[in-house]
Amino acid sequence: MDFDRDWYREKASRIAVLAHIFGIIALILMLVWLLHYRGGFNLDDYENPTRIFNIHPFLMFFGFIFFAGEAMMVYKTVIAEPRTQKMIHMIMHIIAITLGIVGIYATFKYHSAKNLTTMYTMHSWIGLGTFILYGIQWLVGFVTYWIPRRSSTRARFAPWHVNLGRILLYMAICTAETGLMQIFTILRLVASHEARLINFIGLAILLFGITVDLSISFARFGHIN
């Protein structure tokens, strides 16, 4: 049994490294895309609202998806004191929520600057639903695990908390992919370097989500926590 636990722990750590690689690749590619092809970032540039919008995809991946994935991995793949793990886990989720709010605000500000209709696409519906559920998940988790209560209550809630977290990760990935496809369609990109770059960004984000999920799944079998 010890051998099995060690094997699962080792695999979880290796997959977590792979997740970080995919996450960093996605971040680098997104920065290349937004800085080189889309003009960079400026939350107050009403003369070029595209620079306002660019904050949205950047923060929704790096600020929201990446930090959410990190929060999940740190709690399951990093060996430390349980309370330290919980504290880092909570803080990273707070960062994800905070930056996610800024990212959502940026897209609403862009739509306002361009006088465009909001909340009419599948991307926006899934995205806002995911973010609201994510906030509820964090709030319920905080109340359950940080406010003193019976251990049996925490144990019963744990499967729901863990599995909803995994579901929300994939919902966030789905939102990112539909968002990239929406941009692809709006810009009418055809067989260009930018089009290929966006495809690679989407692939890297998907692989990041998959490897995050695999790492925490292996970690649970290894009984790291």
Q: What pLDDT does residue 146 have?
A: 82
Task: List CB contacts of 199: < 8 A, sequence separation 6 or more.
Answer: none
Report the C-alpha gap between 5 and 10 in whole angstroms: 9
Residue 150 backbone class (left: φ over 0; alpha: ψ -120 to 50; beta: rest)? beta
Q: Which domains does the chain have, with CATH numbers?
A: 2-221 (1.20.120.1770)
Q: What percent of the chain is helix, strand and coil (3-state, nearest 5)?
A: 85, 0, 15
Considering Cα of 124, then 99, then 13, then 162, what sign does the dihedral take? negative
- For residue 69, what are its two tokens? 């994935």
- Residue 79 Cα distances to 10, 40, 120, 207, 216, angstroms: 12, 38, 44, 24, 13
CB atoms within 10 A of CB 65: 25
Q: Tell me the CA distances in angstroms from 46 to 105, 136, 208, one per residue in order.
A: 15, 33, 34
| pLDDT for the residue 219 | 85
- Phi first, then psi, for residue 212 (nearest 5°) are -60, -50
- Please give the pLDDT value at position 222: 66
Contacts of 131-140 with CB under 8 Å at 24 or more apart are: 131/64, 131/100, 131/104, 133/164, 133/168, 133/171, 134/68, 134/96, 134/97, 134/100, 134/168, 134/172, 135/97, 137/161, 137/164, 137/165, 137/168, 138/90, 138/93, 138/94, 138/97
Q: What is the helix (H) or strand (E) element at residue 68, kind and residue range?
A: helix 67-77
d(CA 194, CA 137): 36
CA 216: distance to chain centroid?
A: 15
**What pLDDT score was predicted for residue 31?**
97
pTM of this structure: 0.91
pLDDT in tens, the chain (225 residues): 455 777 788 888 899 999 999 999 999 999 999 999 999 999 999 999 999 999 999 999 999 999 999 999 988 777 778 788 888 999 999 999 999 999 999 999 999 999 999 999 999 999 999 999 999 999 999 888 887 766 777 788 888 998 999 999 999 999 999 999 999 888 877 778 999 999 999 999 999 999 999 999 888 776 644
The helices-and-strands tally (H runs, E runs) of the chain is: 8, 0
The number of residues in the chain equals: 225
